Amino acid sequence: MAKRGEVSLGIKDILGKLTIEDIPIQGKRVFIRADFNVPLDDNLVITDDSRIRSTLPTINYAIDEGAKVILASHLGRPKGKVEPRFSLAPIVKRLHRLLNKEVVFAPDCVGPQAESLVAKMKDGDVLLLENLRFHPEEEKNDENFAKALARLADFYVNDAFGAAHRAHASTSGITRFLPSAAGFLMKKEIEYLKGVVENPVRPFVAILGGAKVSGKIGVLENLADKVDKVIVGGGMAYTFIKAMGYEIGDSLVETEMFDLAKSIMEKLRKNNVKFYLPVDSVVAQSIEAGAETKIVTTQEIPRGWRALDIGPASVKLFSEALQSAKTIIWNGPMGVFEIDAFSRGTYAIAHSVADAYALTIVGGGDTDYAVHKAGVSDAITFISTGGGASLQLLEGKDLPGISALSDKK
């Protein structure tokens, strides 16, 4: 039976690190590094609390075990200065509501006041520390700052997958001073983005999109040995199309990536990986709402026009290629989906992914937003909470926030 907060993918310990269930936290102070870096509107109201919700299993487990729960996170980029608009104060209220429990707020994440608030905690109490990045030492992974954080606790738990690609004091340095374990969310992210990717049920299809080839080349290179099909849409597709000798008008292109694009296509061909590019596009003369648009085949992108979304024939082609998939991973929009006129391709693919009889994994902020906006997020098996971190994992690289945790004996 899967334990609480666990997914049962049948994958044996892909993490290799201690998890929160392996450490004796009853009656102890536990420092949980969470990712509460949520979007706020101008009135500092949280517009999407999914990152907070996704870490609740870890927090609730620690409360239920009778630990003294100390929560820490960054929010935004205050660049080492105290900036009220990046305060974690709005998170206190939301946590209070979600946990149905009092949450005490420490106005600084280190120092005598934080220490005295911790000293007053009873088993099962929750304390939230103010933004870690109000101190420049956090991003510098400063040893003394890491020590000051560690002084607050007996154990360290990292559940901040979204920050795991950064070696900061609260994600890396602190682990030198405390026994360190992964939270449930961290474990789940690794199980999907590493475990499933390395042991997929086939056919395994990767859909990549977004602006540039250069941003996804590492992912493509790593996945080229693992997938059965690759579908490329978005701005990055046109560098491939141009490298194949087609005219692409004024579409986005990275000429310096031609050689790499060609060698990737060659590698995919050799590996017998099916490779799909858009066969048609929505084109316009400018990236503006209200611009005149037309649908043209890939062979007929006119001069002076740029391809800003995949066209209906590409949607059909890509959706058909997804039909047989048993595992799908999707990162990056199919067009400039922020503008209505160029959003149809992305939303249509969101529906096709959601409708597939497959285990589906979505990563990256834009793609996450797109599946929510398309109203299909509930039909996706797993939506990663990390942008940069998920890309780095898909590139086959280790994440410093995970490497730093204590090894499972």
Interface with ligand AMP (CB under 6 A): 210-212, 215, 234-235, 252, 307-308, 332-333, 335-336, 338, 364, 366
Write down the least CB distance from residue 251 to ligand AMP, Å.
Answer: 6
Tell the smallest beta-carbon distance from residue 287 to ligand AMP (Å): 7
Measured CA to CA, the distance from residue 57 to residue 3 in angstroms comes to 11
CA torsion angle for 54, 115, 30, 130 (degrees, to 10)? 10
Which of 88/307 has CB closer to ligand AMP?
307
- Shortest distance in whole angstroms from residue 233 CB to ligand AMP: 7
Contacts of 287 (CB under 8 A, 6+ apart): 306, 308, 336, 339, 342
Question: From the CB of 332, what's the least distance to ligand AMP, in Å?
Answer: 4
Residues 182 and 159 sit within 8 Å (Cβ to Cβ): yes
Nearer to ligand AMP, 232 or 354 (CB): 232
Specify the residue, 132 or 232, whose C-beta has the smaller distance to ligand AMP: 232
Structural contact between residues 78 and 131, judged by C-beta atoms closer than 8 angstroms: yes
- Residues linked to residue 156 through DSSP beta bridges, in sequence order: 31, 180
Bond into 24 cis (ω within 30): no
Q: Which is nearer to ligand AMP, 150 or 236 (CB)?
A: 236
Tell me the one-letter amino acid at 369: Y
Q: Answer yes or no: are the C-beta atoms of 171 and 400 closer than 8 Å.
A: yes
Take residue 257 and report the two structure tokens written for it.
């990536």
Annotated catalytic residues are 51, 212, 365, 388
d(CA 340, CA 135): 40
Judged by CB, which is closer to ligand AMP: 80, or 387? 387
Nearer to ligand AMP, 183 or 335 (CB): 335
**Integer Cα distance of 329 and 321 in angstroms:** 13
Considering only CA atoms, which of 194, 198, 200, 199 is closest in space to residue 182? 194
The alpha carbons of the chain give a radius of gyration, in whole angstroms, of: 23
C-beta of residue 226 within 8 angstroms of C-beta of residue 349:
no
- In the numeric block, which tokens belong to residue 285? 């003369």
Question: Which H or E element spans position 269?
Answer: helix 258-270
Q: How far is the CB of 29 from ligand AMP (least distance, A)?
A: 39
Give least dist CB 252 to ligand AMP, A: 4
